[in-house]
A and B are shown apart, each in its own frame.
Chain A
């Protein structure tokens, strides 16, 4: 029984079918309104969305998650099986390990992620769950030659001092990232902020690094063959 299960999960064919399954479900999902910007899928952690969304709306994602879950086991067992045999290159298995970590990262973010959006004028404040206040001290921006914002920033006062937040330069504090998304300067300076928590980010980054190392090793091995 165990051996049969092991052989099944070790199968290349299973992996190929599962990859096809993931592709088909994602392709169907891309035409669904759930994956549109109004679908709400980006507004909350995935697992919360899956619990709340009607099945008629989320079925493709359930199927996709199921395929990825089995693919995760398939990739893990294939790597373990290959590494038990001597003389095998570790490059593809580093790529598998990177992939597995990225899937784990998505799971972490799907469960423990957080996102909140708020529009605040200069001088207003918002609070962290532990009660710490973040005061919006100053909102500034530069208008470019075509009338569009060419740059903007918000100065935020926290318990440890004043910090600037700009596009692509968020403020990380207590495991949360504070992002300034947009700014309007008149009639009063107002900024659109987002507070994010992405518990899988570091795991995804480590996974990506391991994948890249494996990928480069594979390229080096295939060079000249």
Chain B
């Protein structure tokens, strides 16, 4: 089964053409589906499953963008999306799989919805960052418009993830909010993209800043996802 993940990582990194990217995504989704069927739930526990899910989310969310006419002129974009997804698939490989049943507190659809939506959002923030790089390299206004769309849809997924997390928290712990490092960084990420979306109202003079913010946003995303789990103690740690 892990072979599918290895193949997907290799194909992603080699995805200089769109069909290779689609094949990589197919392997990635097949791996996640096989894990999910084996576990009887979405594979969302532990670094191996979450990194693989993140990689799959990046590929899935990147798919409409690599087939967009507006990215046709950006030669490296398909490979860029693939390399990013492949990086996280490769990072997942050294970690062992955790095959235990869900602890009772996590055994609810609200938890799965909360985590899956967060990863879809993270994936879109990654795509937005690549489009920011494309704009700064002379990709034109179209790249910036696409970056805005990716970030807006990502922000919507992330907001829904926060809402479903709040509902889950209320039924699981008695509160929709906890003061822990993960919640604080989740709020920082949400406010960051709120700021990003508001900055668009500043007009053309801020376009380069807007592109940079889309890149920095993905770094904040990575810290929220990986940094907090590895560096800080939280109920959300792996």
- From A2-10, A124-132, A148-156, A184-192, the one touching the partner chain is A148-156
Q: Is the CB of B159 within 8 A of A35?
A: no
Q: Chain B contacts of A198 at CB under 8 A?
A: 170, 174-176
- Assuming the contacts A22-B191, A30-B232, A148-B103, asked whether A41 and B163 have C-beta atoms less than 8 A apart, the reply is no
Q: Is the CB of A39 within 8 A of B176?
A: no
- Assuming the contacts A37-B233, A148-B103, A150-B104, asked whether A27 and B156 have C-beta atoms less than 8 A apart, the reply is no
| A22→B168 CA distance, assembly (Å) | 25
Task: Check B2 for interface membership: any CB of A closer than 8 A.
Answer: no
- Assuming the contacts A15-B198, A167-B104, asked whether A35 and B180 have C-beta atoms less than 8 A apart, the reply is yes
Instruction: Report the minimum CB–CB distance from B135 to chain A (whole Å).
Output: 17
Q: Is the CB of B104 within 8 A of A151?
A: yes
Partner of B160, one of A26, A169, A212: A212
In this complex, how many residues of chain A approach chain B with their Cβ under 8 Å: the count is 55
Instruction: Report the minimum CB–CB distance from A190 to chain B (whole Å).
Output: 16
Bitwise interface map of A from 200 to 216 toward B, beta carbon under 8 Å scored 1, else 0: 01001100100110011
| A16→B196 CA distance, assembly (Å) | 9
Task: Check A55 for interface membership: any CB of B closer than 8 A.
Answer: no
Task: Check B105 for interface membership: any CB of A closer than 8 A.
Answer: yes
Q: Is the CB of A12 within 8 A of B156?
A: no
| A195 and chain B: residue at smallest CB distance | B174
Q: Which of A11-30 contact B (CB under 8 A)?
A: 12, 15-16, 19-20, 22-23, 26-27, 29-30
A selection of 30 A-B contacts at a CB cut-off of 8 Å is: A12-B202, A15-B198, A19-B195, A23-B192, A23-B195, A27-B184, A27-B188, A30-B185, A30-B232, A31-B232, A37-B233, A42-B179, A148-B103, A167-B172, A168-B107, A168-B108, A168-B171, A168-B172, A179-B173, A194-B173, A196-B173, A198-B175, A205-B167, A212-B160, A212-B163, A215-B155, A215-B156, A215-B159, A218-B152, A225-B145
Enumerate the 8 nearest inter-chain pairs by beta-carbon distance, A residue then B residue, closest first. A196-B174, A167-B104, A41-B179, A30-B184, A208-B163, A19-B195, A30-B181, A168-B108
Q: Which B positions have Cβ atoms within 8 angstroms of A?
A: 100-101, 103-105, 107-108, 110, 145, 149, 152-153, 155-156, 159-160, 163, 166-168, 170-181, 184-185, 187-188, 191-192, 194-195, 198-199, 201-202, 228, 232-235
Q: Which A positions have Cβ atoms within 8 angstroms of B?
A: 12, 15-16, 19-20, 22-23, 26-27, 29-31, 34-37, 39, 41-42, 46, 106, 109, 113, 115, 144-146, 148-152, 166-170, 177, 179, 194-196, 198, 201, 204-205, 208, 211-212, 215-216, 218-219, 222, 225
